[in-house]
Structures are given as C-alpha cells and as structure tokens.
Amino acid sequence: MSSEPSLEGLREEALAALASASNEAGLEQWRITFFGRQDGRLTALLRSIKDRPADERASFGANANTLKQELEAALEAKQQDLKAAALKALSTESAIDVTLPGRPQAIGRLHPVTQTMRDCLKAFGDMGFRVAEGPEVEWDRYNFDGVRIPEDHPARDMWDTIWVNTLIDGKRHMLLRTHTSPNQVRVLERTAAPPVRVVVPGKCYRQEATDATHEWMLTQIEGLAVDEGVRMSDLKGVLYEWSRQMFGADRKIIFHHSYFPFVEPGVEMAIDCFICRGDGRECHTCHGTGWIEILGAGMVHPEIIETAGYDSSKVTGFAFGIGVERVALLRWGIEDIRNFYANDVRFLSQF
C-alpha cells in the first residue's frame, strides 16, 4: 500500500498543475491527467475504493469524493478565470480602431424634387385631397380654352407654349401643358357631382430661357376643391396649413391680388421670409420685402363650375398652383434651379 499516493499529496499536485495551466489546451490536458475516463489519476483512485479494507472504505471513499468535488470546482473556477482573461484581452490588446471607416453600403436617395413633391402631397393628403394625374402632352382646349384662355387672349402671353408638331384638321392643337390646370378641367369633366378635392402633380413646360430661377421643364402641383360652401377663407386655411407643414409652424401667409383667367377672385400667396424674418434689406430670398411670393390661387371661375355641369350659384371652389422646384429652392436655400435637372449626384446625394 506504500506506493499509493496520499489523498493530500494528489490534491496538492493537482492544484499546482491546474494553477500552471494557462489556456484551454492546458486545462484539457489537466482534465485528462486527473479525470480521464481510462487512467485519470483521480478516476483510478475512485475506482480503487472498492479494493480498500472494509473498515477504511467508508472514510476513504468520503475523502476521495470530497477531493473530487474540490478539484471539479477548482477546474470550473479556473475555466471562468481564463474566459474572463480572454475577454479582457479582447477589449484591450485586441481593441479595434473604431474610427476606421465602416464597410460601405450602397444608399440611394430620392431626387429633391420628388421629396418636396411627396411632402407637399402628404400635407394636402392629410387635408383630404386625392391625387389625380393627367397627361403632360395636352390638347389646347384643356390647357387654354377650358380654363378660359381662348385663342387671341392676351393671357396666353403668361405661358409661352411649346407646341407639338402634329396637325389635326390643318391646325396645331397638341402642346406640352404649360401648367397643371388642364387637369382641373379633366377632373371636373369626369366627376358627375361635387365634392371634388384633388391635387394634380406633374411636369409642365414653358418655351422660355433658363436662368437661376427659371427652367423650361418644371413641376407643379395643382389643387382643386369644389363643393357647396367652399370659401376663399378655406383656401387661406388650406394654404396656411400647407405653408406651416413645409416651412415651419410659425409661418405667416398673405394674399395679394393677382389675375388668372380661370379664377375669380385671383390671388398670389406669399409667406413671411423665414430667412431674414423681415428685417434684412439685403436678404436675397425676399429682397428686403419680408415676403416671399410662392404660389398663385383663387376661386374657381363660375363659368368653369357651370361647364362642369354644377350650379354655380350653390357650388363654389378654389384652385391653386404650386411650383415644386421653387418650394425646394426655398426650403433648402438652393441658389440655382438648374441644379435640379443637371443630375449631378454630388448635388443630388445631399438631400
């Protein structure tokens, strides 16, 4: 029995070996040495309990099991230590430079005119306006005659027209719409009875020279509300709400007299200058007036209401036309409208 190691000796030897293990592999080696199923030293010891003399067997067995539990606990603790140390090393020696750039992900953006258009449509949509689109290539009877601008009317000067080169009965009738107003007529034509409450977004075209504030291709939103009881004060309310949505909750609006053949009365709307707030004589946005002209509007001319088949003594309406590019220019302080259709991604990707 002399060759048999004492429990105490085995314990010391095992704990010392465990302490010197420095990684997972060392721990595994240690586990095999002492707990290996075949010839682990502790395994062998436990296996030998049954060979003990009967009187020693109980106490030796108890001591051996205590030792087993102690060594298992020590292994567990050592494993925890190593794991903690490894995590610590991950946060220190293996810390990454978080200021390095990330792996690039492609991101696209919508065109600023699209974004502005959508924001406008959202504002009007919240007030119950439906979106109704119409053709860009139009008949003159919708673009002009239907909105009370007959041939030989000086108001045709307000819109320099690009005509399509097709002759019908020897005359030109097809054109690129100069405004979205023709779709007013189309919507009224197909709506048997009021109410009508639509916004018409889309491209329009003008035969004019391009500069920082003028483009020959432009985007408009036409608004039209027709029903019994539609008043100019409602027009003011709707445009006030839109102005606040687009340009800030503290916006003020003002109407002044204007003329469009299809409305009566006709007005132009301005918002108070949110750049200089009315005190900047040098302000490039409002030119020192404190007000920024932003859109044309008015009450639908009774003749147009009658043409739609409604009774103009009961039914009234309002209409307005917004230049989307102008709104985009203003809201983002862009100085040149030509940026929009030059399609330089260095410009477009900033919005």
Partner 1 sequence: MKLSLNWLREFVDVDLPVPELARRLIDATAEVESWETIGAQWDPERIRVAEVLAVEPHPNADRLRLVTVEAGHGRQQVVCGAPNVAAGQKIAFATEGAELIDGHTGERAKLKLRPIRGVESAGMVLSEKELGLSENHEGILGLRPEAPIGRPLVEELGDIVFDISTWANRADLLGVLGFARETAAITGKVMREPERTHGTSARNVEDAVSVTIEDPDLCLRFTASLIENVTIGPSPQWMQERLQKAGMRPINNVVDITNYVMLETGQPLHAFDYDLVRGNRIVARRAKPGEKLTTLDGVEREFDGEMLLICDGEGPVGIAGIMGGGNSEVSATTKNVLLEIANFRPGSIRRTSTYLKLRTEASLRFEKGLGMEMPEFAQHRALHLFEQLTGGTVASGLVDVYPGKEPRKTVIVEASRIEQVLGIAVPTEDVRRILTDLGFVCHFVPPGRYSVQPPDWRPDIEIADDVIEDIGRIYGYDKLPTTMLRGVLPAPEVDPVRDLRERMRDLAAALGFQETISYTLSDLARLKRMVPEDDTLRSNPLAVVNPVAAQHAYLRTSLRPSVLETYASNRRHVDGALRLFEVGFEYLPVEADLPHERTVLCAVLGGGRETRWAQAGGERLDFFDAKGAVESFLNGIGVRAAYAPRAEFGFLEGHTAEVRVGKERVGLLGQVHPDHAAMFDIDEPVFLLELWVEDLVRHLPERPEYSAPSKFPEVRQDIALLVDAAVPAGRVLEIARSHRSGTIRISADLFDEYRGKGVPEGKKSLALRLRFQATDRTLTDADVAKGQQGLVIRLSKELGAELRGS
Catalytic positions, written as ranges: 159, 179, 206, 220, 263, 319
Largest CA distance in the chain: 130
- How far apart are the C-alpha atoms of 123 and 245, rounded to whole Å? 7
- How far apart are the C-alpha atoms of 254 and 257, rounded to whole Å? 10
Nearer of residues 92 and 105 to partner 1, judged by Cβ: 105
Asked if 291 contacts 272 with a C-beta cutoff of 8 angstroms, the reply is: yes
Residue type, 65: N
Min dist. Cβ of residue 40 to partner 1 (A): 38
Question: Is 37 an interacting residue with respect to partner 1 (CB under 8 A)?
Answer: no
Write out the binding residues for partner 1, residues 242-271 only, by CB under 8 A.
254-259, 261, 264-268
Question: Is 283 an interacting residue with respect to partner 1 (CB under 8 A)?
Answer: no
Min dist. Cβ of residue 333 to partner 1 (A): 20
Which x/- pattern, by CB under 8 A, does the window 225-244 give for partner 1? x-xxxxxxxx-xxx-xx---
Residue 327's nearest CA partner among 206, 238, 263, 245 is 245
Nearer of residues 43 and 307 to partner 1, judged by Cβ: 307
The CA dihedral of 188, 193, 195, 197, to the nearest 10 degrees, is -20
Question: Is 278 an interacting residue with respect to partner 1 (CB under 8 A)?
Answer: no
Stretch that binds partner 1, among 39-47, 90-98, 272-280, 295-303 (CB under 8 A): 295-303
Cα dist. 231→28, 33, 59, 141 in Å?
Answer: 87, 96, 104, 28
Nearer of residues 205 and 274 to partner 1, judged by Cβ: 205
Nearer of residues 53 and 104 to partner 1, judged by Cβ: 104
Residue 220's nearest CA partner among 182, 254, 186, 249 is 182
Write out the binding residues for partner 1, residues 101-160 only, by CB under 8 A.
101-111, 113-114, 127-128, 130-133, 135-139, 150-155, 157-158
> With contacts defined by CB under 8 A, how many residues of the chain interact with partner 1?
94
